[in-house]
Amino acid sequence: MWIKGGRLIDPANNRDEIADILIRDGRIEGIYPTAGTVPKGEEVIDAQGMWVLPGLIDMHAHVREPGFEYKEDIESAGRAAAAGGVTTVVCMANTDPVNDNPSVTQYIIRKAARVSRVRILPVGAITVGLEGKVLAEMGLMREAGCVAVSDDGRPVEDASIMRRALEYASTFSLPVISHCEDRNLAGSGVMNEGPLSSKLGLPGIPAVAEEIMVSRDVLLSGYTRVPIHVTHISTKGSLEIISRAKQQGIRVTCDVTPHHLLLTEECVKAYDTNTKMNPPLREASDRQALIEGIRMNLVDCIASDHAPHARDEKDLDFDLAPFGMIGLQTLLPSLMKIHLEHDIDFPQLLACVTRNPARVLGLEGGTLSPGARADMVIFDPTAAWSLTEEMICSKSKNTPFIGQAFTGKVVRTFVEGTEVYPAD
C-alpha cells in the first residue's frame, strides 16, 4: 500500500514533510520523496492535502468491560477509538471485577483480540479491589499483558502502600500511573471550589486536594527513585510542583486531558452533568498554565480520560451524577482545536499522544519509523464539522462537545496496515 503525497508528521523522528509512505505486511516499509515512481501493482492511496500521522496512543481511558458493558465495551470503545485516530487504548482497572489479577487481564486481552479494531492495553490495579490496602499481583499481571498499574478513580490513600507500590512495580518495570486526589479534601465536591461554586450552590473540590497528592507522589518518587506518571493534572499548582520536581531530576511525567485544555469551570453554569468530571474543570488561569505547560514541554502527554456513563446515570442532579465524559473519538479533533485556538505547534501536540506516551509506558509504536507497525491516521486538516450524538460510536454519549464545531477530521485509520476506520 502506497500512501502518496501526504504531509507526514512524526515527532519521534522530527519528521514533518510531504512524502510517500509504503506499507507492507502491516509494517512501514519505507518513506520516499513524493516525486518517485510507484511500484507496479501497488495499491495507491492519494493523501494529497492530508496529514499522515502515527496512530494515537490514548494512555488513559475507561473501557468499562468487564462489568459495565451497558456504558461501554471493548468493541464499542475500539470503534470510537478508530474513529478518533486512536490505535492504542490504555484502559484503566476500575472494572467489575477490578483488573487486579491476571485472569481479568487475560479476559480483556483475549476479548480485545477477538472484537477490537484497535490495540487495547490493560492497566492493572495497584491494590486488590482498588481498596488501597493489599498490593495486587503486579508481576503476574505484567506477564498477562498489563502495561502499567494504577488505582485510577480511587487513589491510594496510605503513603506507605504507595511507597511499596512504587518499589514493587519497578521490580517488574511496570510504570505507575497516579490519579492524584486527597479524597478527604475533595469531600463531597462536584466542581472546582471557588467563587463560582459558591455562587452556583455546588460543593467544591479545591485545587489543593490534587496538589497535596501530587506533592506526596513526587516526593515518594524522588525518595524511591522510581519514576511516576501523574495523570490528568488540572491545576497550575500541580504543574508547578511537577516542574520543580523535574528540575530536581525526579523522574516524574504527567498528562492532561483535552477538556482541561479547552474548557473551564464556566461551562458548569448550566448545571449540565456532562461538564462534571474529576478532576473538575478549573479556572481560566489553570487552563492557561496547562497550555503553557505543553508549550514548555512540562506536560508530557495528553490523554482523554474517556469515561462513559449511561444517560440515566448522567440524568441526575449535578450533585449526584457520576464524574466523567467520553473523549476517545474527539481526541485528535480536540488536539487540532487546541492547535488552532492556542497556537501551539501541531507536531508538539502530536508528540503528546504518540512518541511521549510510548516512551512513558515503554510501548512500541507512536511513530512512522521504517520497520514500525503501520498504525496510522490519515487526517483532513481542513474539514469543518460539528459533533452530533448520532456520530458517536461509544455506547454512552456523555460529552459537552455535542454541537461543537471542529476543524480537521479523521479520514482513515489503520492498525498494522489494516484499515479500521471507516468501517466497511
Task: Please report how close the Cβ of residue 237 comes to other proteins at its closest, in angstroms.
Answer: 15
Mark residues 254-273: x for contact with other proteins by CB under 8 A, - for none.
-----------------x--
Question: Does residue 193 touch other proteins according to CB under 8 A?
Answer: yes
**Which residue in 1, 355, 85 sits closest to 20, CA to CA?**
1
Q: Which of 204, 279, 357, 408 touches other proteins by CB under 8 A?
A: 204
Task: Please report how close the Cβ of residue 321 comes to other proteins at its closest, in angstroms.
Answer: 10
Among 58, 182, 255, 305, the active-site one is: 305
Task: Please report how close the Cβ of residue 126 comes to other proteins at its closest, in angstroms.
Answer: 29
In angstroms, the CA 135 to CA 129 distance is: 10
| Integer CA distances (angstroms), 54 to 136, 156, 415, 419, in order | 33, 34, 10, 14
In angstroms, the CA 174 to CA 153 distance is: 19
Cis peptide before 66 (omega within 30 of 0): yes
- Is 96 one of the catalytic residues? no
Question: Does residue 201 touch other proteins according to CB under 8 A?
Answer: yes
Is residue 158 within 8 Å of 184, Cβ to Cβ? Answer: no
Q: Which of 158, 315 has the CB closer to other proteins? A: 315
Q: Which of 151, 193 has the CB closer to other proteins? A: 193
> Exposed (0-12), middle (13-18) or buried (19+): which is 201, by Cβ within 10 Å?
exposed
Is residue 409 within 8 Å of 386, Cβ to Cβ? Answer: no
| Span near other proteins by CB under 8 A; candidates 147-155, 175-183, 193-201, 373-381 | 193-201
How many residues of this chain interact with other proteins, rule: CB under 8 A?
Answer: 22
Question: Does residue 63 touch other proteins according to CB under 8 A?
Answer: no
> What number of other Cβ atoms are within 10 A of residue 107's Cβ?
18
Question: Does residue 319 touch other proteins according to CB under 8 A?
Answer: yes
Q: Which of 38, 113, 316, 384 touches other proteins by CB under 8 A?
A: 316
Q: Which of 367, 398 has the CB closer to other proteins? A: 398
Task: Please report how close the Cβ of residue 93 comes to other proteins at its closest, in angstroms.
Answer: 30
Question: Does residue 194 touch other proteins according to CB under 8 A?
Answer: yes
Is residue 321 within 8 Å of 313, Cβ to Cβ? Answer: yes
Question: Does residue 70 touch other proteins according to CB under 8 A?
Answer: no
In angstroms, the CA 57 to CA 407 distance is: 21
Dihedral pair phi/psi, residue 14, rounded to 5°: 50, 35
Dihedral pair phi/psi, residue 110, rounded to 5°: -65, -40
Question: Does residue 379 touch other proteins according to CB under 8 A?
Answer: no
Any bridge partners for residue 301, and if so which? 255
Task: Please report how close the Cβ of residue 317 comes to other proteins at its closest, in angstroms.
Answer: 4
Question: Does residue 323 touch other proteins according to CB under 8 A?
Answer: no
Q: Which of 6, 175, 206, 279 touches other proteins by CB under 8 A?
A: 206
Q: Report how far apart the first and last C-alpha atoms of the chain are (Å, whole number).
A: 18
Question: Does residue 322 touch other proteins according to CB under 8 A?
Answer: no
Is residue 20 within 8 Å of 31, Cβ to Cβ? Answer: yes
| Near other proteins in 2-41, by CB under 8 A | none
Angle between helices 207-224 and 159-171 (to 10 degrees): 50
| Span near other proteins by CB under 8 A; candidates 18-26, 143-151, 194-202, 383-391 | 194-202
| Near other proteins in 133-192, by CB under 8 A | 187
Residues classed as catalytic: 305
Contacts to other proteins by CB under 8 A: 187, 193-204, 206, 271, 312, 315-320
